Amino acid sequence: MIENKTKQYLQEHGFENLNLKAVLFDMDGVLFDSMPTHAHAWKETSDHYNLGLSESEAYENEGRTAKSTLNILFQRNEGRDVTEEEVKEIYAYKIKVYNKYNVETVPMKGAAELLSKIRKDGFQIILVTGSGQDTLMDRLEKFYPGIFTKDVMITAKNVKRGKPDPEPYLQGLKCANVHPWEAIVIENAPLGVRSGVRAGIFTVAVNTGPIDDEKLLGEGANLLYHSMQELSDNWEELRKNIQ
Ligand code: CA
Protein backbone atom coordinates (compact mmCIF):
# COMPACT_ATOMS: atom_id res chain seq x y z
CA MET A 1 0.00 0.00 0.00
CA ILE A 2 2.79 2.46 0.90
CA GLU A 3 4.58 1.38 -2.27
CA ASN A 4 1.61 2.52 -4.38
CA LYS A 5 1.58 5.88 -2.60
CA THR A 6 5.26 6.52 -3.19
CA LYS A 7 4.92 5.45 -6.83
CA GLN A 8 2.05 7.87 -7.29
CA TYR A 9 4.04 10.68 -5.64
CA LEU A 10 7.08 10.08 -7.87
CA GLN A 11 4.93 10.00 -11.00
CA GLU A 12 3.12 13.22 -10.10
CA HIS A 13 6.36 15.09 -9.52
CA GLY A 14 8.49 13.47 -12.18
CA PHE A 15 11.07 12.37 -9.59
CA GLU A 16 13.04 9.16 -10.03
CA ASN A 17 13.02 7.89 -6.48
CA LEU A 18 12.66 8.83 -2.85
CA ASN A 19 15.95 8.90 -1.01
CA LEU A 20 15.24 9.95 2.56
CA LYS A 21 17.74 12.22 4.26
CA ALA A 22 15.60 14.56 6.37
CA VAL A 23 12.29 14.49 8.24
CA LEU A 24 10.52 17.85 8.56
CA PHE A 25 8.31 18.05 11.65
CA ASP A 26 5.42 20.40 12.32
CA MET A 27 5.10 21.20 16.05
CA ASP A 28 1.60 21.93 17.44
CA GLY A 29 -0.59 18.86 17.08
CA VAL A 30 2.43 16.74 16.08
CA LEU A 31 5.08 17.09 18.80
CA PHE A 32 2.80 18.73 21.36
CA ASP A 33 -0.82 18.00 22.19
CA SER A 34 -1.57 21.73 22.25
CA MET A 35 -4.42 21.94 19.75
CA PRO A 36 -7.34 21.06 22.05
CA THR A 37 -6.64 24.19 24.12
CA HIS A 38 -6.39 26.40 21.02
CA ALA A 39 -9.58 24.98 19.51
CA HIS A 40 -11.42 25.25 22.81
CA ALA A 41 -10.38 28.89 23.25
CA TRP A 42 -11.54 29.69 19.70
CA LYS A 43 -14.89 27.98 20.29
CA GLU A 44 -15.49 29.87 23.54
CA THR A 45 -14.53 33.16 21.87
CA SER A 46 -16.87 32.43 18.99
CA ASP A 47 -19.72 31.70 21.40
CA HIS A 48 -19.07 34.97 23.23
CA TYR A 49 -19.18 37.02 20.01
CA ASN A 50 -21.77 34.82 18.31
CA LEU A 51 -19.51 33.98 15.36
CA GLY A 52 -20.77 30.46 14.72
CA LEU A 53 -17.38 28.70 14.67
CA SER A 54 -17.39 24.99 15.54
CA GLU A 55 -14.53 23.33 17.37
CA SER A 56 -13.90 21.16 14.33
CA GLU A 57 -13.65 24.29 12.17
CA ALA A 58 -11.06 25.66 14.57
CA TYR A 59 -8.92 22.61 13.74
CA GLU A 60 -9.48 23.01 10.03
CA ASN A 61 -8.23 26.60 10.23
CA GLU A 62 -5.15 25.68 12.26
CA GLY A 63 -2.19 27.60 10.94
CA ARG A 64 -4.20 30.57 9.68
CA THR A 65 -3.68 33.98 11.25
CA ALA A 66 -6.47 35.17 13.57
CA LYS A 67 -7.45 37.82 11.02
CA SER A 68 -7.75 35.32 8.21
CA THR A 69 -9.94 33.02 10.34
CA LEU A 70 -12.14 35.94 11.44
CA ASN A 71 -12.51 37.14 7.85
CA ILE A 72 -13.96 33.77 6.90
CA LEU A 73 -16.49 33.99 9.75
CA PHE A 74 -17.45 37.63 9.11
CA GLN A 75 -17.89 36.98 5.41
CA ARG A 76 -20.15 34.04 6.21
CA ASN A 77 -22.19 35.87 8.85
CA GLU A 78 -22.33 39.42 7.55
CA GLY A 79 -20.91 39.32 4.02
CA ARG A 80 -18.01 41.62 4.91
CA ASP A 81 -14.39 41.51 6.09
CA VAL A 82 -13.55 41.93 9.76
CA THR A 83 -12.13 45.35 10.76
CA GLU A 84 -8.71 45.78 12.38
CA GLU A 85 -10.40 46.92 15.60
CA GLU A 86 -12.61 43.85 15.70
CA VAL A 87 -9.58 41.61 15.14
CA LYS A 88 -7.77 43.29 18.01
CA GLU A 89 -10.68 42.96 20.41
CA ILE A 90 -11.68 39.40 19.50
CA TYR A 91 -8.10 38.10 19.41
CA ALA A 92 -7.36 39.67 22.81
CA TYR A 93 -10.39 37.84 24.16
CA LYS A 94 -9.18 34.56 22.64
CA ILE A 95 -5.76 34.96 24.25
CA LYS A 96 -7.41 35.65 27.61
CA VAL A 97 -9.48 32.47 27.33
CA TYR A 98 -6.44 30.49 26.14
CA ASN A 99 -4.36 31.65 29.09
CA LYS A 100 -7.15 30.67 31.44
CA TYR A 101 -6.86 27.09 30.15
CA ASN A 102 -3.18 27.08 29.45
CA VAL A 103 -2.10 24.18 31.53
CA GLU A 104 1.33 22.59 31.23
CA THR A 105 2.27 21.70 27.63
CA VAL A 106 1.79 18.01 26.97
CA PRO A 107 4.06 16.12 24.54
CA MET A 108 2.25 14.05 21.91
CA LYS A 109 2.24 10.35 22.77
CA GLY A 110 4.57 8.42 20.47
CA ALA A 111 6.51 11.49 19.29
CA ALA A 112 9.61 10.95 21.46
CA GLU A 113 9.77 7.30 20.38
CA LEU A 114 9.53 8.24 16.70
CA LEU A 115 12.19 10.94 17.02
CA SER A 116 14.59 8.52 18.64
CA LYS A 117 14.03 5.95 15.87
CA ILE A 118 14.66 8.58 13.18
CA ARG A 119 17.77 9.78 14.94
CA LYS A 120 19.07 6.23 15.25
CA ASP A 121 18.47 5.78 11.51
CA GLY A 122 20.74 8.78 10.96
CA PHE A 123 18.25 11.09 9.21
CA GLN A 124 18.24 14.82 9.84
CA ILE A 125 15.38 16.17 11.96
CA ILE A 126 14.11 19.68 11.16
CA LEU A 127 11.33 21.65 12.87
CA VAL A 128 9.00 23.72 10.67
CA THR A 129 6.47 25.63 12.76
CA GLY A 130 4.29 28.69 12.31
CA SER A 131 4.74 29.46 15.97
CA GLY A 132 7.01 32.30 16.99
CA GLN A 133 6.76 31.90 20.74
CA ASP A 134 9.91 32.71 22.67
CA THR A 135 9.31 29.79 25.02
CA LEU A 136 9.58 27.37 22.08
CA MET A 137 13.18 26.35 22.70
CA ASP A 138 12.62 25.65 26.39
CA ARG A 139 9.59 23.49 25.69
CA LEU A 140 11.36 21.50 22.98
CA GLU A 141 14.47 21.03 25.08
CA LYS A 142 12.43 19.92 28.07
CA PHE A 143 10.54 17.16 26.27
CA TYR A 144 12.90 16.31 23.39
CA PRO A 145 16.36 17.05 24.79
CA GLY A 146 19.23 17.58 22.37
CA ILE A 147 17.18 17.23 19.18
CA PHE A 148 15.92 20.70 18.27
CA THR A 149 18.81 23.12 18.29
CA LYS A 150 18.39 26.59 16.76
CA ASP A 151 20.11 25.61 13.50
CA VAL A 152 17.47 22.97 12.71
CA MET A 153 14.41 25.15 13.30
CA ILE A 154 12.26 27.16 10.88
CA THR A 155 9.82 29.31 12.88
CA ALA A 156 7.47 32.23 12.19
CA LYS A 157 10.55 34.43 12.48
CA ASN A 158 12.29 32.82 9.46
CA VAL A 159 9.55 33.14 6.84
CA LYS A 160 7.66 35.89 5.05
CA ARG A 161 4.63 33.81 4.14
CA GLY A 162 3.35 31.17 6.55
CA LYS A 163 1.54 27.89 5.81
CA PRO A 164 -0.38 27.12 3.57
CA ASP A 165 2.30 28.87 1.46
CA PRO A 166 5.09 26.40 0.59
CA GLU A 167 7.76 28.80 1.90
CA PRO A 168 8.16 27.29 5.41
CA TYR A 169 8.81 23.80 4.03
CA LEU A 170 11.00 25.10 1.22
CA GLN A 171 13.07 26.78 3.95
CA GLY A 172 13.09 23.46 5.78
CA LEU A 173 14.61 21.76 2.72
CA LYS A 174 17.21 24.50 2.46
CA CYS A 175 18.02 24.16 6.15
CA ALA A 176 18.65 20.41 5.66
CA ASN A 177 20.37 21.06 2.32
CA VAL A 178 18.27 18.43 0.56
CA HIS A 179 15.96 18.11 -2.46
CA PRO A 180 12.18 17.56 -2.11
CA TRP A 181 12.56 13.83 -2.90
CA GLU A 182 15.06 13.50 -0.07
CA ALA A 183 12.64 14.54 2.68
CA ILE A 184 9.22 13.87 4.16
CA VAL A 185 6.86 16.19 6.04
CA ILE A 186 4.91 15.20 9.15
CA GLU A 187 1.78 17.38 9.55
CA ASN A 188 -1.55 17.33 11.40
CA ALA A 189 -3.39 20.30 9.85
CA PRO A 190 -4.99 20.62 6.39
CA LEU A 191 -3.22 23.95 5.73
CA GLY A 192 0.09 22.48 6.85
CA VAL A 193 -0.41 19.51 4.52
CA ARG A 194 -1.09 21.94 1.68
CA SER A 195 2.17 23.74 2.45
CA GLY A 196 4.19 20.51 2.39
CA VAL A 197 2.53 19.26 -0.78
CA ARG A 198 3.08 22.57 -2.56
CA ALA A 199 6.76 22.38 -1.60
CA GLY A 200 6.84 19.10 -3.56
CA ILE A 201 7.58 16.95 -0.51
CA PHE A 202 6.09 13.52 0.33
CA THR A 203 3.67 14.58 3.07
CA VAL A 204 2.54 12.30 5.89
CA ALA A 205 -0.63 13.44 7.66
CA VAL A 206 -1.18 12.47 11.27
CA ASN A 207 -4.80 13.14 12.20
CA THR A 208 -4.45 13.92 15.90
CA GLY A 209 -7.61 16.09 16.05
CA PRO A 210 -11.35 15.68 15.44
CA ILE A 211 -11.39 16.58 11.72
CA ASP A 212 -12.31 14.12 8.95
CA ASP A 213 -9.46 12.25 7.28
CA GLU A 214 -10.84 13.52 3.98
CA LYS A 215 -9.85 17.09 4.86
CA LEU A 216 -6.21 16.02 5.07
CA LEU A 217 -6.30 13.65 2.10
CA GLY A 218 -8.12 16.32 0.09
CA GLU A 219 -5.15 18.64 0.58
CA GLY A 220 -2.95 16.01 -1.04
CA ALA A 221 -1.50 14.12 1.94
CA ASN A 222 0.38 11.10 0.55
CA LEU A 223 -0.19 8.92 3.61
CA LEU A 224 -2.33 9.21 6.73
CA TYR A 225 -1.99 7.85 10.25
CA HIS A 226 -4.34 8.43 13.17
CA SER A 227 -1.77 9.09 15.89
CA MET A 228 1.93 9.70 16.34
CA GLN A 229 2.05 6.34 18.10
CA GLU A 230 0.63 4.64 15.01
CA LEU A 231 3.20 6.41 12.83
CA SER A 232 5.98 5.39 15.20
CA ASP A 233 4.75 1.77 15.22
CA ASN A 234 4.79 1.77 11.41
CA TRP A 235 8.02 3.73 10.98
CA GLU A 236 10.17 0.76 9.92
CA GLU A 237 7.72 -0.17 7.16
CA LEU A 238 7.49 3.44 5.97
CA ARG A 239 11.26 3.89 6.03
CA LYS A 240 11.78 0.82 3.85
CA ASN A 241 9.68 2.47 1.16
CA ILE A 242 11.33 5.88 1.17
CA GLN A 243 15.03 5.20 1.34
CA1 CA B 1 0.12 21.70 13.49
Residues 35 and 51: their CA atoms lie apart, in Å, by 20
Whether omega before 164 lies within 30 degrees of 0, making that bond cis, reads: yes
pLDDT number for residue 67: 85
Distance 7 CA to ligand 1 centre (A): 26
Q: Evaluate whether 2-33+107-240 and 35-101 have a shared fold.
A: no
pLDDT number for residue 145: 95
Q: What's the gap between Cα 185 and its chain centre? A: 9
Residues 122 and 20: their CA atoms lie apart, in Å, by 10
Of 168, 127, 124, 132, residue with least CA distance to 31 = 127
Neighbours of ion ligand 1 (CB under 5 A): 26, 28-29, 188-189
95 vs 6, 15, 92, 151, CA distance in Å?
Answer: 41, 44, 5, 30
Per-residue pLDDT of the chain (243 residues), as tens digits, is: 899 999 999 999 999 999 999 999 999 899 999 888 889 999 999 999 999 998 889 998 887 778 888 999 999 999 999 999 999 999 999 988 988 886 677 899 999 999 999 999 999 999 999 887 777 788 899 999 999 998 999 998 888 888 899 999 999 999 999 999 999 999 999 999 999 999 999 999 999 998 999 999 999 999 999 999 999 999 999 999 998
Superfamily of domain 2-33+107-240: HAD superfamily/HAD-like (3.40.50.1000)
Distance 187 CA to ligand 1 centre (A): 6
Distance 33 CA to ligand 1 centre (A): 10
Distance 16 CA to ligand 1 centre (A): 30
Distance 34 CA to ligand 1 centre (A): 9
Distance 219 CA to ligand 1 centre (A): 14
pLDDT number for residue 98: 85
Distance 12 CA to ligand 1 centre (A): 25
CATH topology of domain 35-101: DNA polymerase; domain 1 (1.10.150)
pTM of the full predicted structure? 0.89
Query: What single-letter amino acid sits at 177?
Result: N
Residue 222: strand, helix, or coil: coil
Q: Could you give the angle at which helices 111-121 and 235-242 cross, rounded to 10 degrees?
A: 40
Distance 160 CA to ligand 1 centre (A): 18
Mind spelling out the 3-state secondary structure of 21-51?
CEEEECCECCCECCHHHHHHHHHHHHHHHCC
pLDDT number for residue 100: 85
Residue 225: strand, helix, or coil: strand
Residues 203 and 195: their CA atoms lie apart, in Å, by 9
**Domain edges within the chain:** 2-33+107-240, 35-101
